Chain A
Amino acid sequence: AQSVAQPEDQVNVAEGNPLTVKCTYSVSGNPYLFWYVQYPNRGLQFLLKYITGDNLVKGSYGFEAEFNKSQTSFHLKKPSALVSDSALYFCAVRLDAGNMLTFGGGTRLMVKP
């Protein structure tokens, strides 16, 4: 079985400050890890993924994520938050040989001016 946990329902950060959205996973195999963002009344948009290789992955809109195998984490980061980053963020995991994408519960990011 595979599972994803996003321990924070909401993260508040001031514009210009760095942001971190946390994600931990549990799989019995090699994981593929993804971050998606959902804006109000929109579908999910792909941000970035970790498949293999460098543990630091860079994605869209200045976001990056660090894969940490020992801590089974894949936290999403951005050096300087924008008000327009305010949205719902989902972490997801998929086994390398599997089809099913399992999502975390989502974290609402609020960036205040």
Chain B
Amino acid sequence: DSGVTQTPKHLITATGQRVTLRCSPRSGDLSVYWYQQSLDQGLQFLIQYYNGEERAKGNILERFSAQQFPDLHSELNLSSLELGDSALYFCASSPRLAGGAEQYFGPGTRLTVT
């Protein structure tokens, strides 16, 4: 158990809908990362927050947004969902902003868009 929790574990929704994925980092970790894992794109970095502020952006679509709250949990919002958004979404956390600290991954949320 990494100490990172993600809810829900599974999510099935229809095209055009909006969903929110939630992540709680390990105790004491200030940095939260979101990743998308799909068969065709592999594991891709989406966005990073550090202590409530956005710090790095990867291949995140404009339909997607995220935030980190004062209690350090984070939410990833996916809107106008398309079939191609079906994937496993991981949250990870680390204690620092950057550097050599490893990231600890949650169990993921499997999103299925029908």
Number of A-B contacts (CB under 8 A): 53
Contacts of A102 in B (CB 8 A): 45
- CB of A100 closer than 8 Å to a CB of B: yes
Q: How many residues belonging to A are interface residues under a CB distance threshold of 8 Å? A: 23
Segment touching A, from B13-21, B77-85, B98-106: B98-106
In the bound assembly, the distance between CA atoms of A95 and B13 in angstroms comes to 37
Residue pair B45, A100 in contact (C-beta under 8 Å) = yes
**Contact B98 A46, beta carbon cutoff 8 Å:** no
Q: Is the CB of B48 within 8 A of A46?
A: no
> Contact between A101 and B99 (Cβ–Cβ < 8 Å)?
no
User: Cα distance A98–B48 when bound, in Å?
Assistant: 11
Instruction: Kindly list chain B residues whose C-beta atoms are within 8 Å of the C-beta of A105.
Output: 42
Comparing A17-25, A37-45, A66-74, A78-86, the segment that makes contact with chain B is A37-45
| 3 nearest CB pairs, A to B | A99-B56, A51-B100, A43-B105
Taking Cβ atoms with an 8 Å cutoff, the residues of B that contact A are 2, 4, 33, 42-45, 48, 55-56, 58, 90, 92, 97-100, 102-108
**A residues engaging B (CB < 8 A)?**
32, 34, 36, 42-46, 49, 51, 90, 94, 96-106
